[in-house]
Structures are given as C-alpha cells and as structure tokens.
Amino acid sequence: MRDERFCASNCPFTRAIGTIGNKWKPIIINVIGTRTVRFGQLDSIIPLISRKVLTEQLKELEEDGLLERLAYKELPPRVEYKLSEKGLAFLPILESIKEWNCKYEVALTPKETDRITYAQ
C-alpha cells in the first residue's frame, strides 16, 4: 500500500507522496478533521472501504505520525483516533485541494442515486 521505493527516496516530495499519495488516506484525514473519531464511526462514515483496509490505513497513518490512536482498556473495546499536529497541519492542504477542484473541475452529471459524501 505504501510504496517503499517512494518512501526510500531522498526527495522530500517523493517521500511525501509515498506516504499520503493514495486514495484512502486523504479521505480518512479529511473525515477525522479536528474531531476525535472511533473506529466504528470511520467504518460507517466511509462505506466503500473495508474493515481490513481501514485498519491497515489507520496503522500506516499512525506509523507516519499523522494520527494518534487511543485505545481504552474496556470491554467491548473502545478506540479513538485523532489527528496529530502533523495531521492537523495537513488539513489546510486538503482544503486547498477542495477549492482547486471546485474552481477547475469540468462539469459532470453525477447520478442522483448512489451519492457519497465524505466532506463534513
């Protein structure tokens, strides 16, 4: 999922793309935003992602220091995710991507059915 050849590059930009350059991570970071979110919430807010892949993505994001995982020793288990300082600093970039897209996107005619929104 994470491309090790990218992460091993000596180019900062290439390394950055190696860590956040896939489709799920920007979505997950955007969904968490400034909140504290539980695993089950993420799983239900992002319907297209499977539990397994969500787990993997969250683990990588934690390893890369973008988010913090708070596991409470309860039963049934409770785990909360929130963005770290690094993750929060990435939010403005996602905002500029939104603005960029709204400004330049060619008009589409999405079906009224199967609408999916991850924005808050």
Partner DNA sequence: ATTTGTAGTTACCTCGCAGTAACCAGAATA
Partner DNA sequence: TATTCTGGTTACTGCGAGGTAACTACAAAT
**Where on the chain is the footprint of a second copy (CB under 8 A)?**
3, 5-18, 20-23, 26-27, 30, 48, 64-65, 85-86, 89-90, 92-94, 96-98, 100-106, 108, 110-111, 114-119
Q: Which does 7 bind (CB under 5 to 8 A by kind): DNA, a second copy, none?
A: a second copy
By CB under 7 A, name the one of 34, 36, 50, 96 that touches DNA: 50
Convert 69-94 to b/e letters by CB count within 10 Å (16 or more is b).
Answer: eeeeeeeeeeeebbbeeebbebeeee
The minimum distance between CB 76 and a second copy, in angstroms, equals 31
Taking each helix axis as running N to C, give the angle between helix 51-63 and helix 24-32, from 0 to 180 degrees, rounded to the nearest 10: 80
Residue 14 CB partners (closer than 8 Å, separation 6+):
6
CA distance 21 to 78: 29
Binding flags for DNA, 95-114, as an x/- string (CB under 7 A): --------------------
> Closer CB to a second copy, residue 15 or residue 38?
15
What are the two backbone dihedrals, phi and then psi, of residue 58, each rounded to the nearest 5 degrees? -65, -40
Q: Which does 93 bind (CB under 5 to 8 A by kind): a second copy, DNA, none?
A: a second copy
Largest CA distance in the chain: 49
CA distance 46 to 75: 25
> Closer CB to a second copy, residue 51 or residue 98?
98
Contact residues for DNA (CB under 7 A)? Answer: 1, 22, 38-40, 48-53, 55-56, 58-59, 69, 71, 75-79
